[in-house]
Amino acid sequence: MSDVMNPQLQSLVLHFGEMGSRWGINRTVGQIYALLVFSEAALSAEQISQQLGFSRSNVSMGLKELQAWELVTLRHRPGDRKDYFTVPEDLWEIARTLVRKRRKRELEPTAAMLREALSSSGETDGHVQQRMRDALELLELIVVWTDELQNLSRSDVDRLMKLGAGLQKVLEMTRRS
């Protein structure tokens, strides 16, 4: 990693790299994303390569993966032929994109598989069938919930997230009614 990076940014980049495998991406992609998230300006692949000490091919592959996740945006500067990459300013927009993409890649295929298994199952263990129905019901609730969150305004999401301890009180009130 380049000495140009300040220690605080370097620490964030290293942490995102370590967390990458837990998030389903590799260390390089995690570090590239951290650099972009915490950079003030859009960066070219060459700048990313220099700051992180990665080969251009690794950076290019990482940027392609981030583009596939719709987490980075390609920008151009007048008079400059290089591609520059940036992320949305609004962190909630990043979170919404991640939820939408993970839902499409993970939840929907699993729910489809469970629906298929339930519709084509003959005589199978009743316990297994019930667990599959329970799992499908949970996944469908999560999908509805994420749809609702996706459709809320930023201010509504902020208010919802800040409910915190007050959520227990709301649940208790709804149970009484």
pTM summary value: 0.78
CATH number for 82? 1.10.10.10
What is the spatial distance between Cα 164 and Cα 61, in angstroms, rounded to a whole number? 39
Q: Is the separation of the CB atoms in 97 and 70 below 8 Å?
A: yes
What does pLDDT average to in each consecutive run of 10 residues of the chain (177 residues)?
A: 79 93 89 96 96 96 95 92 94 89 92 92 79 95 90 85 75 80
Would you state the pLDDT for residue 13?
95
Task: Answer yes or no: is 12 within a domain.
Answer: yes
Which 8-state DSSP code applies to residue 121? -
What is the spatial distance between Cα 130 and Cα 121, in angstroms, rounded to a whole number? 12
Task: Answer yes or no: is 176 within a domain.
Answer: no
Structural domain boundaries enclosing 114: 91-159
Task: Answer yes or no: is 116 within a domain.
Answer: yes
Contacts of residue 156, defined as CB under 8 A and 6 or more positions apart, other chains included, come to none
Residue 145 backbone phi and psi in degrees, to 5: -60, -45
